[in-house]
Structure 1
Amino acid sequence: MRQLLTHLSLLAAALSLPVSAMAQGDGEARLPAVMKIVVPFGPGASNDAIARAIAPGLARRLGNTVIVENKAGASGVIGADFVAKSPRDGSVLLLTSSTFVTAAATQTRLPYDPLSAFAPVAMVGNGPLLVAVSTTTAIRSPADLQAAARSRPGKLTYGSSGIGSIAHLASEMISDAARIQMLHVPYKGAANALMDMAGGQIDMMVSNYSSLAPQIKGGKVRAIAVTSQQPSPAFADLPPMASVAPGFVADIWVAILAPAGTPTAVVQRLNREITEIAATPEVRALLEPDGATPTPYGPAEVAQRIKDDLVRWKQIATDKKIVAE
């Protein structure tokens, strides 16, 4: 009888395991039956779309349930803080972008350490921004922009989605590298800045192609350069801004992070699955409009990219005394 009870107890325990845990034998990391991908921005934006494309593929591969939850606010800080304080078992992940490091570089009181509070998992994609100008200007190239700014120091205007945004920091980096002076005009959101650039109220802005596309197609805005250090195959007709701003680069990325302390085996399993999902047609279709491509980094490479970007953005924020509002 005692032996029978023992067998029944073992059977009950096996049946109570999550499907994913039962299916991941032979040394595979066990993942929770229900997982959550937190997007620290509102629904409908590009990061949200990417998360919702990744979630079903990840669920199929792991044999579990993966949901997407938006936790917007404070330039992504609210959602990131939620994940940093979540269980360290792979059940809660953060899908974030370069805003993760620009927020850390410009906000004085973060509720977490951007380097030590997270376990980088995978890089979904990486690509350039564009430097664009109003078609009311005569600027058609990086050299034209440099010449126009030098002809009237501090008068050529550039817009951004707000103080401390990547557009703000990247434009200040251009100013330093190209040895020019431009006037920053911050807006509450990129859409307002783009509208004013289309109307000729401001001269220049750094932004992604998806945001610029309607105004470019409408003939109101002209793209003149990419922010990658080398030419981008996606925008073959545009030279790098680095052609007149030596050393300038401002690629943007989308990555997935877990709370620090998540087991290495779990991180490695998620890295493998997410890297393969990022290369699927469904996810590529979301990355390609902005010239981004899947980036098969290992966790250590993701961690190094975050660290390098943080140092770079922190330096420009410190030099220019930029503190996010």
Structure 2
Amino acid sequence: MDATIPRRQALALAAVAGLASPRALGQGWPSRPIRLVLGFPAGGTADVIGRLVGERLAAALGQSVVVENRAGASGNIAAEHVARSAPDGYTLLLGTQGTHAANAALFARLPYDPVADFVPIAPVASVPNILVVTTGLPVADVAGFVAYAKANPNRIRFGSSGNGTSIHLAGELFKVIAGIEMEHVPYRGSAPALTDLVAGRIEAMFELVPGVRGQIASGGVRALAVASRARMPAVPGVPTFGEVGYPEFVTGAWFGVFAPAGTPEPVVARLARELAAMTGPGGSLVSRLEEVGAEPMSATPEAFRAFIAAETTRWAEVVRRSGARLD
């Protein structure tokens, strides 16, 4: 046997290994378009925020960022897809409190590991839930809503963007806190649920502010209260739940960027720097996020990881109290 063959193979393997090392993979990145995958359809809050992030990230990186909607299973379909993608910095996930906190408590089994399969890069925004009702519902405020629900058990149908989403869990949690019964109607995204709310086919939603502010402004729906600690400039005149007697009802969604585990550290560091600059003081995303009713978030990857751990505990308690469970 020719002894030079194993040597050539060894040299070739060494060269490939060198090219495939994390530092080598990070050099020259990005050299082609990046995909930002999100787990909800077009038209909803996740889509609005994802497109804002993609637009600013493309400008910062000098490379196009394509937003890809892979809706379904409370974001699990998108999360699994990204978890199984090559860890080369060209496939990213716009994750949520669902994909990386609540779903672990909601689902008996996840098709991905929220911790082991991802690298948290940076949070970008948080968004409170807001209780909106169809204009035909004979209530003017939260007190009237609760009184109507108690007098008419399960007559109020509240829509959501899907089982296990923050919109669903907010409604389930409010049922517990207010001592009322309502029927949950899940949709494939917020947009179709909101269409039915405006048409009067359902009575209420605990929607996220960016997804419904236009309908509030136009009079298509009536806003009763927002689940934030302070009033939101994007929905002026709408009180907080704390102001109307439910101070513990503070809930909403958050969004952050994740990469598959094993993504080169230089790529993660570059993305973290760019995203933190966008959402930090004076950042290019701050005013746009505030305009649509979102609150900018900025943190290092390490701080984001700690935040996710705390959120996992918090949402597990929300799921426990609400009694929600998905197979």
User: What TM-score bracket applies, with the shorter chain setting the length?
Assistant: 0.7 to 0.9
- The amino acid that maps onto 1:311 is T
What residue in structure 1 maps to residue 96 of structure 2? 97
Alpha-carbon distance change, 151 to 298 in structure 1, aligned in 2, over 3 angstroms: same
Quote the offset at 1:271 in angstroms: 1.5
Q: Secondary structure at the match of 2:120?
A: strand
TM-score (norm 2): 0.76
What residue in structure 1 maps to residue 29 of structure 2? 32
Asked whether the equivalents of residues 154 and 182 of structure 1 are also in contact (C-alpha less than 8 Å), the reply is yes
What residue in structure 2 maps to residue 256 of structure 1? 257
Q: Distance in 2 between matches of 1:82 and 1:187?
A: 22
Unmatched runs of 5 consecutive residues or more in structure 2:
1-14
What residue in structure 2 maps to residue 125 of structure 1? 125
Q: Secondary structure at the match of 1:234?
A: coil
What residue in structure 2 maps to residue 204 of structure 1? 204
What residue in structure 2 maps to residue 59 of structure 1? 61
Quote the offset at 1:306 in angstroms: 2.5
Q: Secondary structure at the match of 2:109?
A: coil
What residue in structure 2 maps to residue 8 of structure 1? none
Q: How many percent of aligned residue pairs carry the same amino acid?
A: 33
Q: Distance in 1 between matches of 2:272 and 2:214?
A: 35
Quote the offset at 1:120 in angstroms: 0.9
Q: Secondary structure at the match of 1:128?
A: strand
Q: Distance in 2 between matches of 1:281 and 1:304?
A: 23
Quote the offset at 1:263 in angstroms: 5.2
Asked whether the equivalents of residues 46 and 286 of structure 1 are also in contact (C-alpha less than 8 Å), the reply is no
Asked whether the equivalents of residues 40 and 77 of structure 1 are also in contact (C-alpha less than 8 Å), the reply is no
**What's the Cα RMSD here?**
3.2
Unmatched runs of 5 consecutive residues or more in structure 1:
1-12, 23-28
Alpha-carbon distance change, 321 to 176 in structure 1, aligned in 2, over 3 angstroms: closer
Asked whether the equivalents of residues 133 and 224 of structure 1 are also in contact (C-alpha less than 8 Å), the reply is yes
Q: Greater shift after overlay, 230-239 or 247-256? A: 230-239
Alpha-carbon distance change, 194 to 73 in structure 1, aligned in 2, over 3 angstroms: closer
Q: How many residues align?
A: 297
Alpha-carbon distance change, 196 to 262 in structure 1, aligned in 2, over 3 angstroms: closer
Q: Distance in 2 between matches of 1:79 and 1:162?
A: 14
Alpha-carbon distance change, 34 to 69 in structure 1, aligned in 2, over 3 angstroms: farther
What residue in structure 2 maps to residue 271 of structure 1? 272
Asked whether the equivalents of residues 129 and 208 of structure 2 are also in contact (C-alpha less than 8 Å), the reply is yes
Map residues 1-325 of structure 1 onto 2, 5 A cutoff.
30=27, 32-34=29-31, 36-41=34-39, 42=41, 45-60=47-62, 65-68=63-66, 70=68, 72-74=70-72, 75-100=74-99, 101-243=101-243, 244-262=245-263, 266-278=267-279, 283-284=285-286, 286-324=288-326
- The amino acid that maps onto 2:136 is T
Q: Distance in 1 between matches of 2:297 and 2:262?
A: 24
Q: Distance in 1 between matches of 2:110 and 2:64?
A: 28
